Structure 1
Amino acid sequence: MIIGLGNDLCDIARLERVLEQYGERFTYRCFTEIERNKSDRRRARAASYAKRFAAKEACAKALGTGLSHGVYWRDMGVVNLPSGKPTMQLTNGAQRMLHRLVPSGHVPHIHVSITDDYGMAQAFVIIEALPVDPGGPAA
């Protein structure tokens, strides 16, 4: 069952100006080490950061908290599977809020879709609660 849904748009040029003005002060405040390493290696650095920024905003919306109630930027991080598919790894306050949303007997699964085009980055996040299989590991 779907227990959370969020989406967000981010203007890549605006984020590029923030990167130019604040540099590491901004990236260290808002992004995980994994996200910084991945984005800093990209030719389209600002677009990479913008997609991840939009994913964080979308995730905060899906959690139903926004960036409050103990949920901070670095508590949500985009991590890519070996296939390249993006996922969201939650820690600290974001992880606590996620577990409050999930009904008993279920485990959370976070779906993430990120893209950029025509100067905008976009992200969708769906939080799903999957029933625990009593005969085996969680789905």
Structure 2
Amino acid sequence: MRVGVDLLSVQRFSPIARHDRYRSLVFTEDELAQACTLGPERSVERLAGRFCVKEATCKVLGRGFWQGIRWRDIEVLGDPWGRPVVTLSGGARRIADELGLSGLEVTLTHQAELVVAVAIGVAERPGDCDARSRSS
């Protein structure tokens, strides 16, 4: 098992969420479409949460962005009940496969101007993540 945590100020993230070019670099079309269903302030909060989940996921993968992972390689969408669900593609998927991760569980919470995300990578078999990490 691998764990990643991230904390983000919504106010500090707000300029990125409001900038068209940055939004299109960081978020997929589906992520932006889900956020646009909310009012302007809630949309920024939603994107901040998704950004935070992407950062926590990178920590699970043991890499930073542009170290084999692009922002849009990690997509965070809400299921019908609002639970965040991560889908990996590109470099993020390749790294997860190399680590032996069969799944990724995430959760996030908002409190005042802060967002916290936790991501947990689940191994295909017990010990896979640790053994593959040491051999890399």
Structure-2 separation of matches of 1:65 and 1:18: 22
Structure-2 separation of matches of 1:115 and 1:101: 27
Code of the residue aligned with 1:7 in structure 2: it is V
Partner in structure 2 of residue 92 of structure 1: 90
Q: In the alignment, does 2:98 pair up with 1:111?
A: no
Structure-2 separation of matches of 1:80 and 1:94: 19
The structure in which a higher percent of residues are helix is 2
Task: Give 1:85 deviation, angstroms.
Answer: 1.9
> 2:80 is paired with a residue of what secondary structure?
coil
1:35 to 26, 31, 34: 31
Structure-2 separation of matches of 1:118 and 1:82: 24
Gaps of 5+ in 1: 132-139
Identity of aligned residues (%): 30
Partner in structure 2 of residue 65 of structure 1: 63
Normalised TM-score (structure 1): 0.82
Cα pair distance change 1:10/1:101, threshold 3 Å: same
> 1:66 is paired with a residue of what secondary structure?
coil
Structure-1 separation of matches of 2:103 and 2:87: 10
Partner in structure 1 of residue 118 of structure 2: 124
Gaps of 5+ in 2: 126-136
> 2:60 is paired with a residue of what secondary structure?
helix
Partner in structure 2 of residue 47 of structure 1: 45
> 1:17 is paired with a residue of what secondary structure?
helix
Flag as ranges the 4+ runs of structure 1 deviating above 3 A: none
Spell out, residue by residue over 1:19-71, the C-alpha distance to the aligned partner (whole angstroms, 9 max, x if none). 34xx2101100001111011122121111010000000000010001213320
Code of the residue aligned with 1:39 in structure 2: it is A
Code of the residue aligned with 2:90 in structure 1: it is N
CA RMSD of aligned residues (A): 1.4
Task: Give 1:90 deviation, angstroms.
Answer: 0.4
Normalised TM-score (structure 2): 0.84
Structure-2 separation of matches of 1:37 and 1:96: 26
> How many positions carry a matched residue from both structures?
123
